[in-house]
């Protein structure tokens, strides 16, 4: 999954021949899962039509402050456009537009929007060889970089003038790759490896029956996707569930029983920076598993159970530098039981759920949690969607590494 997924991208198109490439660029942004709006300079419409970019972006294209042909037209608010964006990309960025951006000249909608932007700004220069090397252009590059803008270097190749050299706008695929790599390098969990457990475990009674629970696995999968979006590499060990991880940097290990989950966790635990035990692991399993389906032969049937290995406690015992997070689902004496669990299992943080809270528990799209850290600091949270709860938990991880 691209780091651009869900991002709001404002594409500024200025008047150079390379503007024809923006059709492909918009398409690639959309394919990566981004939302796109386009702002064009009047001159850029000589090279690519607003209709083309509007069709590809699925949004109206803006090129002026208002429509001259409509006396009742609503003003295109450059501030609203700028604040909408998670990032702005000016491509192609001609020498003229770069000069206006550097000097603060505000004579069209694109430069007005740029001057209002609070988000990261990328610019992809496109001009002839001598213009690209001119001292004023190089000065403008440095000014824009001092403003915190990021240059997407021009490529070498055949130019519109017939010359060959530097100044050709980067190809759309290279622009997208550059932005993805730049964003990924700044993500707060870049370089961290996180183990996450998810879902229920099934403990076999015979070949067709098992002991299980109602865990859907959603919380663990939401944690994995959130952590991946923050730059981490994920080992997701999941019991039976219908969910599928979407991000490319999530390695999914499918297990069924508590013993299989125990073995998988300890196979990877020594190499991770963080472990989050979100799975609902069975506490007991049948002592004897029948080799054949048990026939219904009497009014009563007794199954002898034995304890499963405590995965979380074993990770706490083996802990070196890992930041270890556990979950506690309680129905009574919630805080006291959670504090005991922190001590017994050597946890750094526990995420407490109470089945007495409306909207929390198995099979729900929402959750209401309370954070308790190893120093017994207690932080209750509001009822939220599980995706938002996952973000809150990962923010605790980020805070830990920034402390």
pLDDT for res 69? 54
State the Cα–Cα distance between residues 131 and 31, nearest whole angstrom: 33
Query: Would you say how long the chain is, in residues?
Result: 403
Domains and CATH numbers, the chain: 8-186 (3.40.50.1950), 193-402 (3.40.50.10300)
pLDDT for res 178? 97
Token representation of residue 198 = 């998810």
Query: Concatenated DSSP letters for 276-312?
Result: EE--B--SEEESS--SSPPP--SS-----EEEPP-HH
213 is catalytic: yes
State the Cα–Cα distance between residues 46 and 50, nearest whole angstrom: 10
* Cα separations in angstroms, 371 against 19, 270, 275, 377: 51, 25, 16, 8
Letter string b/e over residues 147-159, b meaning 16 or more CB atoms within 10 A of that residue's CB: eebbbbebeeeeb
pLDDT for res 68? 56
* Cα separations in angstroms, 161 against 17, 57, 164, 165, 193: 10, 30, 8, 11, 50
Which residue numbers in the chain have pLDDT < 70? 1, 66-76, 355-363
Active-site annotation holder among 59, 213, 249, 337: 213
Q: What is the CA radius of gyration of the chain?
A: 28
pLDDT for res 355? 67
Query: Which secondary-structure segment (H or E) carries 325?
Result: strand 323-330
pLDDT for res 158? 78
Which residues lie below 8 Å from residue 203, measured CB to CB, with a gap of 6+?
A: 210, 211, 212, 257, 258, 282, 284, 285, 286, 308
- Among residues 180, 10, 23, the alpha carbon closest in space to that of 79 is found at 10
Which residues lie below 8 Å from residue 142, measured CB to CB, with a gap of 6+?
A: none
pLDDT for res 361? 61
Token representation of residue 327 = 């979950």
Sign of CA dihedral 99, 102, 105, 106: positive
Q: Which residue bears the tokens 């002592």? A: 287
């Amino acid at each position: 999954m691209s780091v651009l997924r869900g991002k709001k991208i404002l594409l500024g198109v200025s008047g150079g021949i390379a503007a024809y490439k923006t059709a492909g660029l918009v398409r690639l942004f959309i394919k990566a899962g981004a939302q796109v709006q386009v702002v064009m300079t009047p001159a850029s419409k000589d090279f690519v039509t607003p209709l083309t970019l509007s069709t590809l972006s699925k949004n109206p294209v803006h090129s002026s402050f208002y429509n001259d042909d409509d006396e009742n037209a609503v003003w295109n608010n450059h501030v609203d456009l700028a604040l909408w964006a998670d990032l702005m990309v000016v491509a192609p960025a001609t020498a003229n537009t770069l000069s206006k951006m550097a000097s603060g000249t505000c004579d069209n909608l694109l430069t007005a929007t740029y001057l209002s932007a609070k988000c990261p700004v990328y610019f992809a220069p496109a001009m002839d060889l001598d213009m690209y090397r001119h001292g004023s252009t190089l000065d403008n590059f440095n000014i824009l970089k001092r403003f915190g803008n990021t240059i997407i270097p021009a490529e070498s190749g055949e130019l519109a003038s017939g010359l060959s050299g530097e100044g050709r706008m980067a190809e759309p695929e290279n622009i997208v790759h550059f932005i993805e790599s730049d964003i990924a390098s700044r993500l707060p969990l870049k370089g961290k490896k996180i183990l996450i457990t998810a879902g229920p475990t099934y403990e076999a009674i015979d070949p067709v029956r098992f002991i299980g629970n109602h865990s859907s696995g959603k919380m663990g999968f939401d944690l994995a996707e959130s952590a991946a979006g923050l730059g981490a590499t994920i080992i997701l060990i999941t019991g039976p569930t219908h969910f599928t991880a979407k991000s490319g940097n999530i390695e999914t290990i499918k297990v069924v029983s508590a013993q299989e989950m125990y073995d998988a966790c300890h196979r990877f635990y020594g190499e991770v920076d963080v472990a989050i035990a979100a799975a609902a692991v069975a506490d007991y399993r049948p002592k004897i598993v029948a080799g054949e389906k048990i026939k219904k032969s009497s009014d009563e049937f007794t199954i002898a159970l034995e304890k499963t290995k405590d995965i979380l406690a074993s990770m706490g015992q083996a802990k070196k530098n890992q930041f270890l997070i556990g979950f506690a689902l309680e129905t009574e004496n919630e805080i006291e039981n959670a504090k005991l669990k922190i001590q017994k299992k050597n946890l750094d943080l526990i995420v407490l759920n109470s089945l007495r809270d409306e909207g929390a528990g198995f099979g729900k799209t929402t959750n209401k949690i309370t954070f308790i850290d190893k120093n017994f600091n207690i932080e209750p949270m509001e009822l939220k969607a599980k995706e938002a709860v996952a973000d809150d938990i990962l923010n605790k991880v980020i805070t830990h590494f920034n402390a």
